[in-house]
Each structure stands twice: as structure tokens, then as C-alpha cells.
Amino acid sequence: MAKIHLLRHGPKNNNPEAHQTGVEALLDPQGINKIISQASELLSDRSYAVRNGFDYSINTFNRIRVETTPVNRAISTGNIVYKVLSLDPRFEVPEPIVNELIGSYGINPLTNDAINLSPKSMSGVWGEAKKQETYQGQQGEHCPLYAWCEQGFDNPQAGQRDDLGISLREIACRLGTYVFNTLETADEHDLIIAYGHSGDIEPFSYLILEMLEGRDGTDKEAMTRRFRETGGALEPLEGLNISYIPKISGTYSELLRDVLKQQAEWFKEYGRSKEVLAEKLRQGN
């Protein structure tokens, strides 16, 4: 069966001033070797799988697809990984593609630049909390992510007319739509490595956990509770391993598929991403 590795991009410049709206920060050149090492490790049969708790051999797959958000640091991560993977003759490795549903960023159709679809005020919440981050030798952005979690899935900033943007719930359902559509259409021997962002991937995982337990995420403490349960923010190149076997009822696999399908249906019915992108483009940001 097909699998998706939904991972945070490689190490970036963590200066709060560089982060700005979330689009501007680039990869840290000193972290590029870490990206190369992970890609090389992936090809060494089970070593990558064992280290990351995955239950398969790389030889299960015939094709490895690399997909990214439209943000430079994700694209750059994907391009580096692609160059390593494409050297292995065992696999078909198409050139990386951009899929905006992997995160909270739309695409300017004239320039192909990434547009942050979150309210500007949420970038402000992240940026202020980032100033308090100590990192302690790591790169997980725990303070900014927790500050977002305190806002809840239906963060009130997303309802402001003078600062149009999508909610954390919509961000989660964008990723749910991406994962569902990808797994439904992928060949069973495909491995998809998708590079996204902290602040997008974690809310997606939190909403999955809520829905698997029969909740809808409206509890005010839902996100902060899941933050604590899962150990906080992702480190670079960490993330989720997602797969399911369709049409096997009564199993965890089918429950996960149903949750992802519900997220895709929510996004289709209630998502405001197109409206928000059009307005942000009209306003020039």
C-alpha cells in the first residue's frame, strides 16, 4: 500500500526577524548535510524505517515521489532530497512537485510565490512567542506552536474582516484533503515524501487524534492537550507516517480513512482558502 511521509522541511534560519509572515525564512546552509543524510539513510533499506518506527522496507516501493509546499525552504528541501534519491536505480523518482494543500500557503498565479493564507495577526502571535523560544540545542518551535494552540482550532483571528485568513481547523483539513486524495489515487507501490511546516502538520495531527476519539476539536483545551500529549513541536525533518488499507471495515485503517475523508469533505464545504487567496492577492500581500 502507498505511504506518505509528511515531514517538516530541513533546518531553517531561526531569527524571528527572518520568519516574518512565515514565507521569508530560508534553509540554514549548515543544515543541508542533515537533509542529505536523511535522504541517503532512507535508501539504506530498513535503517531509516527502524530508526523512525516504521514497519516496512524501502524495497516495498517502486516509485518515490517528492512533494512540497510552495514555500522556498520546503521546495529547497525537496530538491535536495530528490537529487539524492534519483541516484538510486532501483526507483522511479519523478521531479518534485508543489502542492499547496500540504500547508497553509496559496500560490500567486502570476509569480508562483507562496502566499500565507493565515491572518496576519496569527503571524504576529507566532512571531512574538518565537522571541521567547530558547531552543536548547533543538529547532522545535514549542513556544510559537503552543501560542497558536491556545487560540483553538476555530481561532477567532480567522473571522476578522479586516485581516482575512483561514482558521487552524482549515489548515488541518487542507492537509487532510491532501493526504486523503493522495492515498486514494496513488499506486500501492508509491512512497510519497511531502515537505511541509511546523504549525501546519501538528494541528492536522491533533485534529486526527480528536476525531479518532469521536471529538470535533471544539473543546477549548483540545489543541493544548494534544500539544502536551505529543511532545510539542516537530523538529526539522520529523513528521508523520500515514497509510491505510481501503475497504477493510472495522479496522483502525478504515477509521483513519474515514477521518481523513471527513476532513476533505469539511474543506470542500466550508473551506475559504480560495476566497482568502483572492483577497490577499487583491490587497497585494
Domains of the chain, residue spans: 3-283
Coil, strand or helix at 31: helix
Position 49 scores a pLDDT of: 53
The answer to whether 199 touches 167, Cβ cutoff 8 Å, is: no
The answer to whether 116 touches 22, Cβ cutoff 8 Å, is: yes
Mean pLDDT on 173-200: 96
Mean pLDDT on 151-180: 96
Q: Which residue has the cell 525552504?
A: 73
197 pLDDT higher than 60: yes
Position 45 scores a pLDDT of: 58
Position 133 scores a pLDDT of: 81
Report the number of secondary-structure helices (H) and strands (E) in the chain: 11, 7
Mean pLDDT on 207-236: 96
Coil, strand or helix at 57: coil
Mean pLDDT on 17-28: 67
Position 254 scores a pLDDT of: 87
210 pLDDT higher than 70: yes
Q: Which amino acid does the sequence have at 270?
A: Y
CA distances from 225 to 58, 114, 204 (A): 34, 31, 14
Q: What is the pTM of this model?
A: 0.92
136 pLDDT higher than 80: no
Q: In what order do the strands lie in the sheet containing 190-196? A: 97-98, 63-68, 190-196, 3-8, 239-242
CA distances from 36 to 32, 80, 85, 94 (A): 6, 7, 10, 18
Position 18 scores a pLDDT of: 52
250 pLDDT higher than 90: no
Percent of the chain with pLDDT over 90: 75
214 pLDDT higher than 80: yes
- pLDDT: is 104 or 18 the higher one? 104
249 pLDDT higher than 80: no
Question: Distance between CA 260 and CA 200 in Å, rounded?
Answer: 15
The answer to whether 106 touches 64, Cβ cutoff 8 Å, is: no
Mean pLDDT on 187-211: 97
Q: What CATH number is given for 3-283 in this structure?
A: 3.40.50
Mean pLDDT on 82-88: 96
What is the tens place of the pLDDT at every residue in 274-284? Answer: 999 999 999 88
Least reliable range by pLDDT among 156-165, 220-229, 256-265: 156-165
102 pLDDT higher than 70: yes
Mean pLDDT on 35-59: 72
Position 13 scores a pLDDT of: 74
Mean pLDDT on 17-45: 80
